[in-house]
Amino acid sequence: MTTPTFDNRDGFIWFNGELKPWRDSTLHVLSHALHYASAVFEGERSYNGKVFKLAEHGERLIKSGKILDMTIPYSAAELDAAVLETLKANNIVDGYVRRIAWRGSEMMGVAAQTTKINVAIATWQWPSYFKPEERLKGIRLDLSKWARPAPNTAPTDAKAAGLYMICTMSKHDAERKGYADAMLLDYRGHVAEATGANVFFAKDGKLHTPTPDCFLNGITRRTVIDLAKARGIEVIERTILPEEMADFEECFLTGTAAEVTPVSEIGQYTFTPGQICKTLMEDYMALVTGQKDAVAAE
């Protein structure tokens, strides 16, 4: 059985205010976003019918838009309600949610002042069951030849489509070499993040994570910092040099898709997933699957 392509599925996509049949949710080839990467998006996850950190994702989408000089024509609350409507229309309980805003086809040039800002929300099944023993083996990461750009070179605080071209190139290189993903250093040569997730290291019972000054301060990253602190684990946000990776005992990635994923290798450096990885993996799963104050799509 082959997996259906993303343009050819049953279901509905919320498209500029209304639910449209999935296959009709298309845009023109002369859309500004396609040519100039004028798009911002979110990746979210629904567990047991509830979207984890729904409001934070809505707010980040609007903030990303503002950074790219795009005013999204819906409030965060309207977008959040639309996410729940889309999940319900597609009967998704455990799934992924993709909200995206992009410039349309009214102008075709670098300046795009009068382009319409379009918004769509799609969702698809993405069950979240993993075997902790499997995950605890850790994944292997390549060290990318690409660097995360400086904040005055690219809109590094935004979840902007254009920033992902270095991620795709890094991940392709990594996969060709047999790795699961890639770690990127930043423009100064400091450890930054993976292609779609933040990174943490553990040593002597403490966590160390790069200061998010040129990459996304992930919602999962912030959640895991709170979980670690609740366990009495000290979290140190600081500059991390690549050679310091030789001294860390454990390493893991955090992200909406990655959740908490232990890492066994980054280039020449090796780690042994242990108690800290295990505890935070378990605490994170307990939190996301048992969210008490989240709004369900009912």
Ligand X SMILES: Cc1ncc(COP(=O)(O)O)c(C=O)c1O
Does 190 interact with ligand X (rule: CB under 6 A)? no
Tokens of 103: 């410039």
Residue nearest to ligand X (CB): 218
Q: Which of 50, 53, 159, 278 is catalytic?
A: 159
Of 36, 43, 93, 128, the one binding ligand X by CB under 6 A: 43
Does 193 interact with ligand X (rule: CB under 6 A)? yes
Nearer of residues 25 and 256 to ligand X, judged by Cβ: 256
Of 219, 225, 228, 281, the one binding ligand X by CB under 6 A: 219
Q: Phi and psi at residue 261, in whole multiples of 5°?
A: -115, 110
Binding mask 154-173 for ligand X (x = CB under 6 A): -------------x------
Does 58 interact with ligand X (rule: CB under 6 A)? no
DSSP state of 11: S
Binding mask 100-129 for ligand X (x = CB under 6 A): ------------------------------
What does the DSSP assignment read for 242-281?
A: GGGGGG-SEEEEEETTTEEEEEEEETTEE----HHHHHHH
Does 82 interact with ligand X (rule: CB under 6 A)? no
Residue 54 in contact with residue 94, Cβ under 8 Å? no
Nearer of residues 22 and 208 to ligand X, judged by Cβ: 208
Give the footprint of ligand X on residues 238-267 (CB under 6 A): 254-256
Residue 185 pairs in a beta bridge with 147, 191
Q: Phi and psi at residue 75, in whole multiples of 5°?
A: -80, 165
**Closest distance between ligand X and the C-beta of residue 228, in Å?**
15
Nearer of residues 19 and 135 to ligand X, judged by Cβ: 135
Please state, in angstroms and rounded to a whole number, the distance separating the CA atoms of residues 101 and 168.
Answer: 20
Tokens of 211: 């200061």
**Closest distance between ligand X and the C-beta of residue 164, in Å?**
7
Binding mask 272-291 for ligand X (x = CB under 6 A): --------------------
Does 218 interact with ligand X (rule: CB under 6 A)? yes
Residue 102 in contact with residue 31, Cβ under 8 Å? yes
Q: Which stretch binds ligand X (CB under 6 A): 22-30, 61-69, 111-119, 216-224?
A: 216-224
Does 64 interact with ligand X (rule: CB under 6 A)? no
Q: Which residues contact 9 (CB under 8 A, 6 or more apart)?
A: 22, 23, 124
Please state, in angstroms and rounded to a whole number, the distance separating the CA atoms of residues 101 and 65.
Answer: 8
DSSP E strand stretches across 63-214:
95-103, 117-125, 139-148, 181-186, 191-194, 198-203, 206-210
Q: What is the pairing mode between strands 139-148 and 181-186?
A: parallel
The verdict on whether 20 is a catalytic residue reads: no
Nearer of residues 25 and 254 to ligand X, judged by Cβ: 254
**Closest distance between ligand X and the C-beta of residue 158, in Å?**
11
Of 31, 38, 144, 198, the one binding ligand X by CB under 6 A: 198
Please state, in angstroms and rounded to a whole number, the distance separating the CA atoms of residues 100 and 120.
Answer: 5
Q: List, by residue number, the catalytic residues.
A: 159
Applying CB under 6 A, the residues found at the interface with ligand X are 43, 167, 193, 196-198, 215-216, 218-221, 254-256
